[in-house]
Chain A
């Protein structure tokens, strides 16, 4: 069965500090992998996605994620966090021929000055 685990419910970082959000997945084959961000009152916005090829994926807003097949992980990173990055972050997987995303439970990010 497909599942996504985001072990950190809530993370607090200082503005300017680096960030890593963890994501582990369980899937029968190599899935498509996604990171979405959700700000209060907003829908989900796609940050980046991995389909194949280079395991380091660059996204919008300075985010990147690395796919590690051996660890079934797809961690999201940002070298320097801005106050506007405070939001809820969701990791998701999907089948290459499927039609639905399987989301993790999310990580809430707080940025302190």
Chain B
């Protein structure tokens, strides 16, 4: 049990639609990162939020966006869904820099785009 909860667990969307994925972090964890894990691949960094501001972004288009809230929850929004967006989406929260503390991962949201 990592104390990081993601919802929903599974989701099916149609190409072109928009989706919002949610992550609830541990209290005091002011940093949240989102990763995309395609089938058979390792997680890839989407972006990180620190104290409600974006703090780094991976090689993902602007239709991937996020929000972080003062209550240690966060969202990942994806617009104009494409079939290749089908993946497991993981959030990871930490108390500060995940390199120098410990990042705790949620169980993920499995998104299927049809």
Mark A residues whose CB is within 8 Å of B: 4, 32, 36, 41-46, 51, 90, 92, 94-106
Contacts and interface: CB of A to CB of B under 8 A. Distances in A.
Interface of B: 2, 4, 31, 33, 35, 40-45, 48, 50, 55-56, 58, 90, 92, 97-100, 102-108
B107 A95 contact: no
A105 B4 contact: no
B90 A44 contact: yes
A45 to B, nearest CB: 7
A105 B107 contact: no
Contacts of B50: 99
B106 A4 contact: no
A47 to B, nearest CB: 12
**Nearest 9 A/B pairs, CB to CB:** A103-B42, A43-B105, A100-B45, A44-B105, A99-B56, A94-B99, A43-B107, A99-B48, A43-B106
Contact of B56 (A4, A42, A100): A100
